[in-house]
Amino acid sequence: MADRTEPAMEPVFDSAEQLLQRWLDRDDDVDAAWQQAVPGPSVDVVGSRLSSIPKSFLDDRVSLLGLAGDVLGADRGRTPASTEIVQLLTDVAQTRSSAARRGAAIALWLWASEDLLGAFTPRLETAHASRTLAALALRLAAVVDPSEWISDAERRDEAARTFLLWSGALPAGEDRETARSVLDMRDSLQRNGALAAAAAEHAHRLEVTRALNDARAREAAARYTHE
């Protein structure tokens, strides 16, 4: 009898471009993030804490949803915030990207470390946990493997600054303009020509779409006024 066993399928992993596209599709507003950021802990302190991440957080076999439940209580109740975190981490898991998974795990470790190693001054906020997890797992991990966030001082600085920005914090001792300038200078995405071009094209499409929607809204309002 012929063998009817289906050949084993190789797991499909998201490419760097696909990870970045997932980030871009979120359409998180970087200008609003900068405007709303409030003073937080220093980059050096966050970077040092990042380097102390336990191996268990970086183990691909450990569930991100389980970690988020322990760290953020994302498995307790179904608030809009917890639902958003669960959906984001489910999406990260579906990428089958080790880099994306470890990027999210590093963000979770920084929050977890406040209970395990001592609170930052000021404490880190978790109100923007979903976008922070996405920024590290989908945006930064798409261009720099998280292992470099630990081993390379400049990439660690970038990761710490990225985490602070999207979690709603300015680095201690830096004003908004200085912090933004330094992160722009560190930005690995802008150093990657192909990915930077894709991001710019996506931003342009969004700008055109918004302009069209605004024009349609004005036309509709004008028609309503004249009726």
Predicted TM-score of the model (pTM): 0.84
Q: Tens digit of pLDDT for each residue in 30-87?
A: 999 999 999 999 999 999 999 999 999 999 999 999 999 999 987 766 788 899 999 9
E strands of the chain, at which residues? Answer: 38-39, 169-170
Does the structure show a pLDDT above 50 at 88? Answer: yes
| Number of residues assigned to the chain | 227
Q: How far apart are CA 131 and CA 129, in angstroms?
A: 6
Query: How many C-alpha atoms does 184 have within 13 Å on its Cβ side?
Result: 9
pLDDT at 185: 95
AA identity, residue 159: A
